[in-house]
Chains A and B, each alone.
Chain A
Amino acid sequence: MKPPSFEYADPKSLDDAVRLLEEHEFEAKILSGGQSLMPLLNMRLARPELLIDLAKIPDLDHVREEAGTLVVGGMARQRALELSPIVRERFPLVYDATMHIAHPQNRNQGTVGGSIAHADPAAELPALVMVTDAEIVATGPDGARTIAADEFFVTYLTTSMEGAEILTEVRIPALGPSTGHSLQELARRHGDFALAGAMATVTLAGGGTIESGRLVLFGVGATPIRARDAEQLLAGEKPSDALFEAVAAKAAAELDEPLSDVHASAEYRRSLAGVMAKRALAEATARAAV
């Protein structure tokens, strides 16, 4: 479990990092928190010629609120989200999602940008940006551009970023008024990737009906999946277990064949996705009502 030899660069500016990446596009890998990359290197499953470490680039690790939006630098550690009073008080779903990421040791190292750019479909942060309609800022040779979360995840471990782009910022809008949230997942152990999970937000209208809801399933497909068709069933309805069950069932039924592995068959994952979705909708609604 020792990596083959590679070159290492730790550029001191974003421009330098982008330039290096452009020069070595197919041979280089970005090193952010290293929580996925380091094992891949040690197992010799990833064999980059060059590692570009972002750690020395200034001003990439901010966590701040700008006009109701949480703005997080790509190199902000997940632990910084966890410890931020802003996150804890104003962005409870972000806090919830963060606390479901592995263990404190991993969150100390793991970065927000790294997790999203790695695009593991069972990870919490990709699902979080989907359910919150967040924006992702990618910086490349032509400068920065903003990508909607919906358009960011292409397939398993693949995003719509170009080869020489670096994820530099994430912008997560706060939940609106009368809106509740929930994260439900089943993992074999505390801190593991979920076998299946769901994140939901529900906004109530006056008179006890649901104005709108958002539902994302994760761990059950090649990317986190926004269940837009199922969400539509919520609008204008009175909350009920039967409603949540119907919405969840539709969301689960519309999934492409989920992954099957030693921990969960495709059939089980699909069923689990429905259960998690139902519970997430119920909890989000209950929280919205408070």
Chain B
Amino acid sequence: MSVKIPTSIDQLPNSNPRFIGQEVNRVEDPSLLTGRTQFIDDLVLPGMLHCAILRSPHPHAKIVSIDTSEAEKLEGVLSVATGKDAKELTNPAPTAPEGWGAYCLAADKVRFVGEPVAAIAATSRYIAEDALELIEIEYENLDVIVDAHKAAQDGSPLIFEEHGSNVMMQRVFTWGEVDQAFADADHVVTEKYRWNRLGANPLETYGCISKWDLLENSLTLWASVQSQSHVALGRAVVLGLPSNKVRVISQPHGGSFGGKGGFRGPDIAAILSRKAGGRPVKWIEDRMEYLGGGAGQSWDRHYELSLALTNDGEVTGLRVKLLDDLGATAEAFGTVSAAKPLAAFVGCYAIPVAEYDLTMVVTNKLPGAPYRGMGPPPHNWALEQTMDVAARKLGLDPTEIRRKNFIQPSQFPYIIPSGNEYDSGEYEAALDGVLEMSQYKALREEQARARQEGRYLGIGVVNTIEPGVFDWNAYAIVGVQGTGVPEGVTIAIDIMGKITCKLGFSLEGQGQYTVVTQVLADYFNVEMADIEIVYQDTLSAPPHFGPGGSRLGVAITGASLGAAEMLVDKLCTVAAVLMQTERENIEFMDGFCRIKGMPDAKMHFAEVAGAILARSDLLPPGMDPSPQATFAWTAAGRTQADDQGRAKSYLTAANACHVVLVEVDIETGHTEILKYFIVDDCGTRLNPSNVEGMTQGGVAQGVGAALLEEYVYDEGGQLLTSTFMDYLMPSVYEVPMTEKKALVTPSPFTPLGAKGAGEGSMHTTPAAIMCAINDALSPLGIKAHEVPAAPNRIWSLIQQARAGESR
């Protein structure tokens, strides 16, 4: 059957929906708040061993020899693995473009400090770590390259000799008559920007247990993974197993934000399990491993942006030049982050033509991993700052240049030059809303008063698009094979009329089990407590992908509604037989299958389901006695990328407008956030408190990006920020509790009109804070175009400006 999915709440078969759109209590919370949720490190299996990993102290070196004999003799050590085993038993990571991946244990040479070179499985983690100290490795150091510009030059030391270059990809995407636009422009503004490495830091690091069954030749992997089906497929490829011999069981996990890739751990633990006779091997990544060798480093970028402008501030062209430093390999989906900005390349603006000059290089640093937003946050950050530079040049207020260039409500659906389609939006309404909430005019007056007192206040006004509901189609252009992103559920009604929903992702923090429960409770007009969510592993669940790309809230709503529609159709078919009428006379409303036009002639769905299970004698011929349905949802209308990479990729375009007031202490360079306001529009809010949490959490990460977080490598390739003493996560003291308002422009394309909102303010906050800092410093003629805007950095800019003045 073709399934029609409601695109608004009023299309639900419920005359009085009680849960969808409401701030209901989350069904996940009782077990989390009472400490009953079982995370990976809580899991103990019979005979389980513990893995510790020896990591390279060198950024670039040949492995001359490894001697593990003393380690093997230590009591309690059961197995030892090195690159030799990895080469014999596994394949390089398939998550990189062909030839730019690596084995899970360095085979012949190491390419970054922290790269795994050997591993131990022992009866305790203590013994395993003791044994690491007994492994002797002889290295022959190679020249090190950490600077992306130098890495791209001929004659640079090569990370992958076989490619003859460190440039993984160099390509110019041109969308329209860009040269002409710049030739015709009244003004061209060009600015450079530097976004330093930072990344996801979930409260729980990665962890897994690999169990290799020597008889079945199969792998069972318990892990704190984000996208389990994807991980299972990867393990099948790496370990050379049939895909139905890999079972991944995703434990509930303490956040991800992209940091739960665990790219090498499961494979290393699998080798160790295999060599230990099949005993399960647990590896819990510790925080230092995470920071220096995990999936926590992203977006090491050098930007140059140009805007073509008319005299009155209309932007007629955009050029973005990006040198993206992916670190030592592309094994952690590093290239995808550079492709995703195509989904919202021109932000909220009707810029007609654009160009993307993209160069990706490898260097002797940790491979770049996904992080919340997956690439657009630095792009937005550079674009929005350039809009402010242009405004300043033309004597316009930052709100005015934005207003002049917004895509208008009448223009949706709107195809941007880079090919993606925006579904809907009210950008000017969002701007007006936040200007009113923040009393923008009064803020400007406050700023002027402060400046007379010698204080430097700055205001940032920034609006961005959050591409939501991703599809893999866009990523073929950067060499990553798509695997599709279906999201499936199975809904079943039991003989007592209770509803079970089986799905393929575990708890991660966003509250999607609650969303499913809300949707189904309203659909069937029951209490939320009548719905039970059952997690299923990769060999049990319907086709699924899980969280990622701001898609799961929309996708799981679509899957739940689709399965409910299918199941209700079956119920109505049976109800017709039971009520001795034709199928087309039956409708479903408020939990009842009823005869149209006869409100009292009805059967409750539980009664019908019970009859299906219990009374096969009453079923229509050929119908299976199974009141359940499976439906997998995916975004409709996606297109293949054309020769310039243009595709309809992301289904939704949420947007937000932030206003922030900061004060920069020009004696110390320290920035303090004084006020913060947000209007955001992610269409229908399925659960407003979930959205609130996403928004505020994104602000926290945005504050970290703008002011605090940075992985610093020295010229010799050593990581200088290897603990939380030096890698600075924002805390409650640094993150303002923002004032927020919602604007609701439903998506015409999605289940219930919801848009992806999972990555949220991370798209906007770094830009908003940096625009505010630049606004504060503009009287001094300073442009601060590097994050984090650490006090040391801002102070240096102030000193330089003063030195310039005094000359």
Report A's interface with B, CB cutoff 8 A: 1-5, 39, 43-44, 186, 188-192, 195, 261-265, 268, 271-272, 275
Contact across chains for B790 and A188 when beta carbons are under 8 A apart:
yes
Pairs of residues from A and B, 6 with the lowest C-beta to C-beta distance, nearest first? A190-B733, A1-B286, A2-B126, A275-B667, A262-B712, A2-B129
A4 and B130 in contact (CB under 8 A), knowing A271-B795, A272-B668? yes
Give the residues in chain B near A44, CB-CB below 8 Å. 129
B734 within 8 A of A: yes
B720 within 8 A of A: yes
Select from chain B the residue with minimum beta-carbon distance to A274.
Answer: B667
Give the residues in chain A near B795, CB-CB below 8 Å. 268, 271-272
Give the residues in chain A near B792, CB-CB below 8 Å. 195, 263-265, 268
Cα(A277)–Cα(B708), bound, Å = 25
B731 within 8 A of A: yes
Give the residues in chain B near A264, CB-CB below 8 Å. 791-792
> Given contacts A189-B730, A191-B733, A261-B726, could you give 15 more A-B pairs where the C-beta distance is less than 8 Å?
A2-B125, A2-B126, A43-B288, A188-B790, A189-B728, A189-B734, A190-B734, A195-B791, A195-B792, A262-B710, A263-B792, A264-B791, A265-B796, A268-B792, A275-B668
Contact across chains for A262 and B730 when beta carbons are under 8 A apart:
no
Select from chain A the residue with minimum beta-carbon distance to B132.
Answer: A44
Contact across chains for A262 and B734 when beta carbons are under 8 A apart:
no
Please name 23 pairs of A and B residues whose Cβ atoms are closer than 8 Å in the assembled complex, sorted by A.
Answer: A1-B287, A1-B288, A2-B126, A3-B126, A4-B126, A39-B723, A44-B129, A186-B668, A188-B791, A189-B728, A189-B731, A190-B731, A195-B791, A261-B726, A262-B721, A263-B726, A263-B792, A264-B792, A268-B791, A268-B792, A268-B795, A271-B795, A272-B668
Give the residues in chain B near A272, CB-CB below 8 Å. 668, 795
Select from chain A the residue with minimum beta-carbon distance to B793.
Answer: A268
Select from chain B the residue with minimum beta-carbon distance to A3.
Answer: B126
A268 and B125 in contact (CB under 8 A), knowing A188-B790, A190-B731? no
Report B's interface with A, CB cutoff 8 A: 125-126, 129-130, 133, 286-288, 667-670, 708, 710, 712, 720-721, 723, 726, 728, 730-731, 733-734, 790-792, 795-796
Contact across chains for B726 and A262 when beta carbons are under 8 A apart:
yes
Select from chain B the residue with minimum beta-carbon distance to A192.
Answer: B728
Give the residues in chain A near B731, CB-CB below 8 Å. 189-191
Give the residues in chain B near A186, CB-CB below 8 Å. 668, 670, 791
Contact across chains for A189 and B668 when beta carbons are under 8 A apart:
no
CB distance from B806 to the nearest CB of A (A): 16
Contact across chains for B790 and A189 when beta carbons are under 8 A apart:
no
Select from chain A the residue with minimum beta-carbon distance to B712.
Answer: A262
Select from chain A the residue with minimum beta-carbon distance to B796.
Answer: A268
Give the residues in chain B near A5, CB-CB below 8 Å. 126, 130
Contact across chains for B720 and A189 when beta carbons are under 8 A apart:
no
Give the residues in chain A near B133, CB-CB below 8 Å. 4
CB distance from A44 to the nearest CB of B (A): 8
CB distance from B427 to the nearest CB of A (A): 34
CB distance from B786 to the nearest CB of A (A): 14
CB distance from A272 to the nearest CB of B (A): 6
Cα(A263)–Cα(B720), bound, Å = 10
Give the residues in chain B near A189, CB-CB below 8 Å. 708, 728, 730-731, 733-734
Cα(A5)–Cα(B130), bound, Å = 9
CB distance from A39 to the nearest CB of B (A): 8
CB distance from B791 to the nearest CB of A (A): 7
Give the residues in chain B near A265, CB-CB below 8 Å. 792, 796
Give the residues in chain A near B286, CB-CB below 8 Å. 1
Select from chain A the residue with minimum beta-carbon distance to B721.
Answer: A262
Contact across chains for B667 and A262 when beta carbons are under 8 A apart:
no
Residue among A1, A263, A275 making CB contact with B790, cutoff 8 Å = A263
Contact across chains for A262 and B288 when beta carbons are under 8 A apart:
no
Select from chain A the residue with minimum beta-carbon distance to B125.
Answer: A2
Select from chain A the residue with minimum beta-carbon distance to B50.
Answer: A2
Cα(A13)–Cα(B365), bound, Å = 51
Cα(A61)–Cα(B791), bound, Å = 39
Select from chain A the residue with minimum beta-carbon distance to B720.
Answer: A262
CB distance from B478 to the nearest CB of A (A): 31
Cα(A195)–Cα(B126), bound, Å = 35
Cα(A44)–Cα(B52), bound, Å = 14
Cα(A221)–Cα(B670), bound, Å = 21
Give the residues in chain A near B712, CB-CB below 8 Å. 262
Cα(A189)–Cα(B732), bound, Å = 10
Give the residues in chain B near A43, CB-CB below 8 Å. 288
Cα(A263)–Cα(B792), bound, Å = 7
Cα(A287)–Cα(B130), bound, Å = 56
Give the residues in chain A near B730, CB-CB below 8 Å. 189
Give the residues in chain A near B710, CB-CB below 8 Å. 262
Give the residues in chain A near B288, CB-CB below 8 Å. 1, 43
Cα(A188)–Cα(B423), bound, Å = 41
Give the residues in chain A near B287, CB-CB below 8 Å. 1
Residue in A3, A195, A268 whose Cβ sees the most chain B Cβ within 10 Å: A268
CB distance from B365 to the nearest CB of A (A): 15
Give the residues in chain B near A262, CB-CB below 8 Å. 710, 712, 720-721, 726
Give the residues in chain B near A188, CB-CB below 8 Å. 708, 728, 790-791
Give the residues in chain B near A2, CB-CB below 8 Å. 125-126, 129
Cα(A163)–Cα(B611), bound, Å = 84
Cα(A263)–Cα(B795), bound, Å = 12
Give the residues in chain B near A190, CB-CB below 8 Å. 731, 733-734
Select from chain A the residue with minimum beta-carbon distance to B130.
Answer: A4
Give the residues in chain B near A261, CB-CB below 8 Å. 720, 726
Cα(A200)–Cα(B795), bound, Å = 24
Give the residues in chain A near B733, CB-CB below 8 Å. 189-191
Cα(A264)–Cα(B792), bound, Å = 6
Cα(A264)–Cα(B726), bound, Å = 11
Select from chain A the residue with minimum beta-carbon distance to B52.
Answer: A2
Cα(A1)–Cα(B669), bound, Å = 36
Select from chain B the residue with minimum beta-carbon distance to A272.
Answer: B668
Give the residues in chain A near B130, CB-CB below 8 Å. 4-5
Residue in A5, A39, A272 whose Cβ sees the most chain B Cβ within 10 Å: A272
Cα(A271)–Cα(B288), bound, Å = 32
Select from chain A the residue with minimum beta-carbon distance to B124.
Answer: A2
Cα(A192)–Cα(B726), bound, Å = 10
CB distance from B143 to the nearest CB of A (A): 24
Cα(A200)–Cα(B89), bound, Å = 65
CB distance from A261 to the nearest CB of B (A): 8
CB distance from B241 to the nearest CB of A (A): 32
CB distance from B726 to the nearest CB of A (A): 6
Cα(A5)–Cα(B75), bound, Å = 14
Select from chain B the residue with minimum beta-carbon distance to A42.
Answer: B286
Cα(A43)–Cα(B722), bound, Å = 11
Give the residues in chain B near A268, CB-CB below 8 Å. 669, 791-792, 795-796
CB distance from B121 to the nearest CB of A (A): 15
Cα(A11)–Cα(B605), bound, Å = 71
Cα(A46)–Cα(B708), bound, Å = 29
CB distance from B491 to the nearest CB of A (A): 44
Give the residues in chain B near A39, CB-CB below 8 Å. 723
Residue in B125, B667, B669, B708 whose Cβ sees the most chain A Cβ within 10 Å: B667
Cα(A272)–Cα(B666), bound, Å = 11
Cα(A44)–Cα(B130), bound, Å = 10
Cα(A28)–Cα(B667), bound, Å = 45
Select from chain B the residue with minimum beta-carbon distance to A271.
Answer: B795
Give the residues in chain A near B734, CB-CB below 8 Å. 189-190
Cα(A3)–Cα(B130), bound, Å = 9
Cα(A264)–Cα(B731), bound, Å = 20
Cα(A265)–Cα(B287), bound, Å = 27
Residue in B723, B731, B792 whose Cβ sees the most chain A Cβ within 10 Å: B792
Give the residues in chain A near B721, CB-CB below 8 Å. 262
Cα(A3)–Cα(B52), bound, Å = 13
Residue in B125, B287, B795 whose Cβ sees the most chain A Cβ within 10 Å: B795
Cα(A43)–Cα(B288), bound, Å = 9
Cα(A1)–Cα(B667), bound, Å = 40
Cα(A65)–Cα(B766), bound, Å = 50
